[in-house]
Structure 1
Amino acid sequence: MSLVLAGLFVVFLVMGIPVAIVIGAASMTALNLSGVPLMVVPQQMFSGINSFAFVAVPMFILAGDIMAQGEISKRLVAFADSMFGFIKGGLSIVSVLAGMFFAAISGSGAATTAAVGASLVPELKRKGYDPAAAASLIAASGTIGVVIPPSVPMIIYAVIAQESVAKLFLNGFIPGVAMGIGLIAIALVQGHRRAYPRGTPFNLSTIWRTLLSASWGLMAPLLILGGIFSGVFTPSEAAVVAVNYAIIVSLFIYRDLTLKGLYQIMMRAGVTTAVIMFVIAASSVLSWALSSWQVPSAIAEYALSLSSNPYVLLLLIMALILVTGVFLETASALIILTPMLLPLAMQLGIDTVHFGIIIVVGLAIGMVTPPVAINLFVASTTANLPIERITKAVFPYLMALIFVYLMIAFVPLVL
């Protein structure tokens, strides 16, 4: 019956049906054909999203949207520019650092790409940077948005794997920074080859001024993550704190947001949340069906029959994650892959937290790997460039991310 499910999945996907509907329809049809009562479908959909940890998902999305719209993202970019703009091609470094700063606020790759792109793309064009390369770098930097905490995909993985969200967040810093260093290395090489100009001259008074200006934005991750790791509040409570902090800063301190604008942002965040939660609910049915048919154990047995070398099997797992990330949205891919691959990973002796980092980073790379590549589409819209140009320009950054991915997987650093 699992083959029937796979066939239905492919057929519905080729028909152009939205992924969430494909997952739900294929699962429901296969269950019906196997004689399972369809009452199971709503039960599993509800149980799939009935978790307190998921309260953090809409809250982090809303907090990220609020901060992306106003002065917070612009001031973070200005601060990064004051520190590194003097280097040849320094705005490329600023693009990556701004992505890392915003990643520690938003928890979303698309939100990070949109916020940094809106602030930096016009300036990059004005300074003579190649527009496609600049947009693709910003899109690649956006992948860090789901690795450096807070991270919506890490929350989803934690619920499925019954792992600590705080522990996953703690272990997201080093991989996120490593991804940033890899992108900066490629950006510096390109900056010298293309003779990009230097940006803002190095000046301590300018750094101090921009630091003070961006201090409210910089305090956001300290407040959110400091509260989580110190045990003052849970990740779900931290998400609510983040929303309140973003509203207070945007409405009353920077005063760059109106009540009407806040309402529009809340409606947009609500739509985004509804899509994500529907994907999670539909994927939960698929996950239950696969578990009922013992597909995860069959996959583990088959993989172990191919090779006894754990490194070879880990490479196969990583390849499957990367390929899945190319075609599926991150939330649905997580819910499908985690129950299938986690038993195999545990048999290989891989720590569940380390495997969570592996699967999140692999699916994050899918955000800049065509054809789905949501970050590339966001960057294309922000930069007003054809997606084909950005797709060609993203290749060197993609290779850097894959290299870092291999390092993360084979050099485990679980805190």
Structure 2
Amino acid sequence: MSLVLALLFVVFMLMGLPIAFVIGASTMGALQLGGVPLMVVPQQMFSGINSFALVAVPMFILAGDIMAHGEISKRLVAFADSLFGFVKGGLSVVSVLAGMFFAAISGSGAATTAAVGASLVPELKRKGYDPASAAALIAASGTIGVVIPPSVPIIIYAVIAQESVKDLFLSGFIPGIAMGLGLMAIALVQGHRRAYPRGTELSLRAILRTLLSASWGLMAPLIILGGIFSGYFTPSEAAVIAVNYAILVSFFIYRDLTLTSFYQIVLRAGVTTAVILFVIAASSILSWALSSWQVPNAIAAFALSLSDNVYVLMFLIMLIILITGVFLETASALIILTPMLLPLAAQLGIDTVHFGIIIVVGLAIGMVTPPMAINLFVASSTANIPIERIARAVLPYLAVLIVVYLLIAYAPLMLG
């Protein structure tokens, strides 16, 4: 039946159906041909989204959209500019740093790309930076949005793997910072090679002024993550607090949010949430079917028959994750890959939390890997640059992210 499922999956995908329908329809077809009662479908769909932890998903999406709308993202960019704008090509470093700041608020790669791109792309163009390279860098920085907590994909992985969201969040900081530092290094090298101009002069007064101006935005991750790690509230409760905080700051402090724009943001966040949860529900059927047919065990046995070297098998796992991330949306890829690869990772002695970071970072890289790269499409729309140009310009940043990915995967194994 697994071969029938794979065939139906490919056929429906080539027909251009939305990924949730591809997953659901192919699994239902295979179950029907296998004589499995279809009553199991609604049961598994409900079971897949019947988790309190998933309450955090719509809330973090809404909080990120509110904060991306107006002054919060702009003031974070201004603060980053005051820190590194004086360096040659410093505005590129600012792009990455702003992406890291916003990553600690939004939990979404696309939202991070859109917020930073809207604030920085016009300024980058005005100062003579290569537009395609600048947009590609912002898109690459957007991948950090799903690694540095809070992260929607990490929450989804935690639900599937029945792992602690708090532990996974804690493990996301170092990989996210490493990705940012790698992108900054490439940005600085390009800044010197292309003789990009210096930005604002380094000034303690400017740093203090922009820090004070951006303080409300900078306080958001401190409140959200500080509350989670101190045990004052759960990640789901933190997501609700993030929404309330974003509304408070945007409506009453910065006063850049109107009732009309708030309604549009809520509507957009609702649509995004519905898509993600529908994908999760459809993918839950697939996970159940694969588990029933012992596919994860078969994959683990096949992989172990190829080699018993943990480094070789880790490379194969990472290759599968990267390729899947190119073609599938992150949530659906997580729900398909986690049940399939987690048993193999367990047999290799890979920690569940470490594996979660590996799979999330690998799928995040897929967000900037052509042809199905959501961050590149967002950057293309924001910068009004053809996707083909951005896809070529993203290659050096993609190479750096893959090098960092290898370090994230192998360093803990080598250190034991």
Q: Could you say which residue in structure 2 is the equivalent of 1:173?
A: 173
Q: CA deviation at 1:219?
A: 0.2
Q: Are residue 219 (structure 1) and residue 219 (structure 2) matched?
A: yes
1:53-78 CA-to-partner distances (Å, cap 9, x unmatched) read 00000000000000000100000000
- SS in structure 2 of the partner of residue 411 of structure 1: helix
Q: Which amino acid aligns with 1:356?
A: G
Equivalent positions of 1:14-413 (< 5 A) are 14-412=14-412
The C-alpha deviation readout for 1:159-179, integer Å capped at 9, x for no partner, is: 000000000000000000000
Distance 1:230 1:412 in 2: 26
Q: For 2:3 and 2:329, locate their aligned partners in 1 and report how far apart those are by CA, in whole Å.
A: 22
SS of match in other structure, 1:412: helix
1:260 Cα deviation from its structure 2 partner: 1.3
Q: C-alpha distance in 1, partners of 2:20/2:201?
A: 49
Over 4 Å off, 4+ runs: none
Q: Structure 2 CA distance, aligned partners of 1:273 and 1:310?
A: 37
TM-score by length of 1: 0.99
CA distance in 2, matches of 1:388, 1:378: 13
Q: Which amino acid aligns with 1:123?
A: E
Q: What secondary structure is seen at the aligned counterpart in 1 of 2:233?
A: coil
**Deviation, structure 1 residue 234:** 0.0
CA distance in 2, matches of 1:381, 1:266: 21
Q: Secondary structure at the match of 2:370?
A: coil
Taking the aligned partners of 1:199 and 1:324, their CA distance within structure 2 comes to: 39
Work out the CA distance in 2 between the residues paired with 1:138 and 1:342.
32
One-letter code aligned to 1:274: A
Counterpart-to-counterpart distance in 2, 1:333 and 1:313:
19
The amino acid across from 2:163 in the alignment is: E
Three-state SS of the structure 2 residue aligned to 1:98 is: helix
Q: Which letter does structure 1 place at the counterpart of 2:135?
A: A
Distance 2:373 2:211 in 1: 33
Q: Which segments of 5 or more consecutive residues in structure 2 lack a partner in the other structure?
A: none
| Equivalent-residue separation in structure 2 for 1:91 and 1:42 (angstroms) | 50
Inter-partner Cα distance in structure 2 for 1:326 and 1:271? 23
Paired residues, number? 414
Letter in 2 for 1:115: A
Distance in 2, matches of 1:107 and 1:29, equals 35
Deviations 1:214-250 (A, max 9, x none): 0000000000000000000000000000000000000
Q: Alpha-carbon deviation of 1:15?
A: 1.0
Percent identical pairs in the alignment equals: 84
Please give the root-mean-square deviation of Cα atoms over the aligned residues, in Å: 0.8
Query: 1:167 is matched by which residue type in structure 2?
Result: D
Q: One-letter code of the match for 1:97?
A: L
1:304-356 superposed Cα distances (whole Å, 9 cap, x missing partner): 00001110000000000000000000000000000000000010000000000
Q: Secondary structure at the match of 1:241?
A: helix
Instruction: Give the letter for the 1:12 counterpart.
Output: F
Q: Distance in 1 between matches of 2:211 and 2:133?
A: 28
Return the alpha-carbon distance in structure 2 between the equivalents of residues 2 and 193 of structure 1: 52
Q: Distance in 2 between matches of 1:204 and 1:179?
A: 28
CA displacement, residues 242-286 of structure 1 (integer Å, 9 cap, x when unaligned): 000000000000000011111110011000000000000000000
User: Partners of 1:230 and 1:56 in 2: how far apart?
Assistant: 18
Q: Distance in 1 between matches of 2:269 and 2:191?
A: 36
How far has the Cα of 1:411 moved from its partner?
1.0
> Separation in 1 of the partners of 2:261 and 2:6?
44
Letter in 1 for 2:211: L
Question: Alpha-carbon deviation of 1:390?
Answer: 0.2
Q: Secondary structure at the match of 1:368?
A: coil
Q: Alignment partner of 1:246: what SS?
A: helix
- What's the secondary structure of 1:233's corresponding residue? coil
Gaps of 5+ in 1: none
